[in-house]
Amino acid sequence: MNDSFVLTNNENIEENDGLSLKSKRRLRNAKAANTIKAYNSDWRDFVDWCAYNKVEALPALPETIVNYVNDLADNAKANTVARRITAISENHIAAGYSRENNPAKSALVRAAIASIRREKGTFQHGKAPILLETIHLLAGCFENIDDLARLRDRALLFLGFAGAFRRSELVNVQIEDLTFTPQGLIVFIPRAKGDQLGKGSTIAIPYAPDKSICAVRAVQEWIQSAGLKEGPLFRPFKKNHELRDIQMSDKSVALIVKKYIAAAGLNPKDFAGHSLRRGFATSAAQHDVDALSIMRQTRHKSEKMVHRYIEQGNIFKENPLNRMFDK
C-alpha cells in the first residue's frame, strides 16, 4: 500500500509520453519537499489504519475517511485531523480524482471535521516566545566569549530573533546572501515557506543601540573569527572542534535555544526553535508596532497569525483591570 502515495511517484506524470523529461522533472517539484514529506507521513498513517480495518485507501470511500478521522480524533487535535484530510485529498488529486470525485472533499467528510472542530476546539498551545527582554537575559551568557562555538551560537540566536527567521531559513543563510551597510545588515532569502514560487525576499536588520544584543555585530564577529568567505553562515563543528563546510541542521536551532535558555535560568522545555520567530512578533506587538510592519519582517502572507501574536503581546497592556486599578 505504500506505493499508493502517488505524490512522489505519479503515474499520470511518469507514464505520460506527451511530457518531456524536463517537464516531468519540474512537475515532480510542484510542491515543496517538506510539504511532500509531511503528506507522506500523514498518508502512511491513513494507509496503516485502512490495512488494519481491511478497507481500501486509494480510492477511499467518504465513509472510510470519516471513520478514520473519528478514530484519530480520540487522541489528536482538530488541526492534526484537518491536516490528515488535506494529505488524503492531495494524494487523491495526484492520482487523478477530480474535486467532484475526491472522497476527502465530500459533504460527509466536511461535516465530520466541522463536528470535530466544534467538539475539540482549534486552539494551539505553542512554545513560549523569546521576547526582547529574554534576548537581554541571554546576552549575559555571552560575556567574555573565548571560543568559536559560542560566537556562532550568539550570532544564531540574535539573528534568528531580529530577522524573525524560521529554523529552516536560518540554517540556509549563505555568506553570499548577506550585505552589510552603514545602517546594518540586509539578508536575502531565496525561498521561504510562504514563497513557493521562489521570488525571494530581503530582511533589513539595523544596528542595535545596545551592542550586547546587536545581531549585526554578532554576525560580523562570528564571520571574522571563523574566517568565513562563502557558503553556509551557520555550520557544525567536528569532534576535534574544527569547523565543517556544511550547514547546520534545523534541529540544531532548537538545541541551541534550549541550551542557553537553561543557562539563563529558564525552563528549556517551554522553548523551541520557533520561539525566536514568535518572540519577535510578540515583542513587536508589545512595542505597538503595527501589523503590516511586523508582517514585513516576518514575511507572513496572512494577517491572521500576526493578529494572534498582537493579541498575545497586548494581553496585559490592554487588560481592563489596568484601568480599574488606576482609578
Q: Exposed/middle/buried for 106, CB within 10 Å: 0-12, 13-18, 19+? A: middle
Q: What is the largest CA-CA distance in the chain?
A: 78
Query: 38 by DSSP, 3-state: which?
Result: helix
Q: Return the SS3 of 94.
A: helix
Catalytic residue among 84, 92, 277, 299: 277
Please give the backbone phi and psi of residue 237, each rounded to the nearest 5 degrees, phi first: -110, 150
Strands (E), the chain: 178-181, 184-189, 201-206
Q: Could you give the CA distance from residue 25 to residue 3 in angstroms, rounded to a whole number? A: 19
Active-site residue (options: 166, 167, 217, 299): 166
136 has catalytic annotation: no
The yes-or-no answer on residue 274 being catalytic is yes
Rounded to 10 degrees, the C-alpha dihedral 261/263/268/274 comes to: 20
State the cell numbers at 103. 472522497
Distances (CA, A) of 240 to 221, 228, 252: 22, 19, 18
Whole-angstrom Cα distance, residue 147 to residue 214? 19
Catalytic residue among 39, 68, 97, 309: 309
Strand-pair partners of 276: none
Catalytic residue among 193, 235, 296, 307: 193
Q: Which residues contact 95 (CB under 8 A, 6 or more apart)?
A: 4, 6, 10, 12, 58, 59
Task: Pick the catalytic residue from 92, 167, 274, 278.
Answer: 274
Nearest to 83 by CA among 22, 133, 124: 124
Please identify which of the residues 77, 92, 154, 300 carries the catalytic annotation: 300
Q: Determine the Cα–Cα distance for residues 201 and 192; give it in Å rounded to an integer.
A: 8
Contact 170, 247 (CB under 8 A): no
Q: Is 277 a catalytic residue?
A: yes
Give the phi and the psi of residue 176 in degrees, each rounded to 5.
-65, -15
Cα angle: 307, vertex 312, 315; to 5 degrees: 120
Residues designated catalytic: 166, 193, 274, 277, 300, 309
